[in-house]
């Protein structure tokens, strides 16, 4: 099953000019637990998807809110030459096809 089939919300946004956050929010506890316990949601997998070192990835589960926050270092600072998404709002797409 794909992450897009389980998550109610998958979004991205800036967390300052040097960080990007990816938010996964689930409609129910069962879907949250399935994804949170999946071996696909880890630093190495996310790093490979976003072509960053695993040390630049933080995965933060938040069971009370049925959410998972992923924080990445941005390769290019927001607004610098070469930045193609200054708000970080279009960076969630690689997660959608992730096999859970």
Domain ranges of the chain: 3-75
Alpha carbon of 45 to those of 14, 53, 63, 70, 100: distances in Å? 21, 10, 21, 12, 11
Under DSSP, the state recorded for 9 is E
pLDDT at 84: 86
- Tens digits of per-residue pLDDT, 20-63? 999 999 999 999 999 999 999 999 999 999 999 999 999 999 99
Specify the higher pLDDT residue, 67 or 84: 67
What torsion do the CA atoms of 50, 55, 57, 61 make, to the nearest 10 degrees? 140
Q: What is the value of pTM for the model shown? A: 0.91
Say if domain 3-75 classifies as CATH 3.30.70. Answer: yes
């Amino acid at each position: 099953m794909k992450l897009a089939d389980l998550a109610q919300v998958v979004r991205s946004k800036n967390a300052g000019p040097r960080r990007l956050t990816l938010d996964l929010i689930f409609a129910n506890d069962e879907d949250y637990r399935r994804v949170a316990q999946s071996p696909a949601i880890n630093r190495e997998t996310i790093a490979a998807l976003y072509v960053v070192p695993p040390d630049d990835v933080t995965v933060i589960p938040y069971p009370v809110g049925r959410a998972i926050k992923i924080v990445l270092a941005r390769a290019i600072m927001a607004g610098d030459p070469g930045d193609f998404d200054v708000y970080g709002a279009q960076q969630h797409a690689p997660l959608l096809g992730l096999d859970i």
